[in-house]
Amino acid sequence: MELNKLKKKLQSARRGHKLLKDKRDELMRQFMIMIKENRRLREEVETAITEADKYMAVAGSVMQREILETALLLPKQEVEIEITEKNVMSVVIPEFRTIYKTDDKNPVSYGMAFTSADLDGAVNALSEVFPKMIRLAEVEKSCQLMADEIEKTRRRVNALEHIMIPDYEETIKYITMKLSENERNTTTSLMKVKDMVLKQKHNY
């Protein structure tokens, strides 16, 4: 009975090992796709922010500080971030969606009479890169969650492959060997009993 139980456990462990390996491989594939997107987005965001910083530095040098602060005091557009979730190979990753207050795509909210064109450049650069920043945050969080799940899955695969399955196989081998030994002993005992019976009854 114990041997049959162990054989069923070994079969389940091997099936689970295969499923976990498939899951790990698919997670790695998805992870590598996201890593590539993450690298591309980060480069684009950093380039755009660097450009906006240059524009803002020039604007700050040619405009009075009070005028610059007043120009940026009242934003023209308001944005909300709606967060939903998506399941990828049992990993729940976030999805960010931006909801704008108005459909006006012009980010400039101030009069241009007393402001520098460099300020317009900085505002436009930040406005254009904003959706990429949101997507970058989404991808980075997804990569972090997927990396954690890959590590957990890897540990489970290794535990099955190097500990549980070998232990089951070794125990099954030991029990099988013991049962075979007991069967041989029983056969030998039966043969001796048979010889004794024959000798007593027929003097064989």
Domain ranges of the chain: 2-163
How buried is residue 36: exposed, middle or buried, by Cβ count under 10 Å (0-12/13-18/19+)? exposed
- Match 């029983």 to its residue by tokens: 186
Reported confidence tier of residue 12, pLDDT bands at 50, 70, 90: very high
How buried is residue 89: exposed, middle or buried, by Cβ count under 10 Å (0-12/13-18/19+)? middle
Per-residue pLDDT tens over the stretch 48-102:
999 989 888 888 888 777 777 777 776 677 788 899 999 988 889 999 998 888 7
Per-residue pLDDT tens over the stretch 163-196:
999 999 999 999 999 888 888 888 887 887 777 7
pTM of the complete model? 0.73
- Token digits of residue 203: 């003097």
Query: Which CATH class name applies to 2-163?
Result: mainly alpha
Determine which of 15-19, 42-46, 54-58, 137-141 has the lowest per-residue pLDDT on average: 54-58
pLDDT at 113 (0 to 100) = 47
pLDDT at 104 (0 to 100) = 67
Run of H or E residues at 3: helix 2-62
Closest CA to 68 of 118, 104, 124: 118
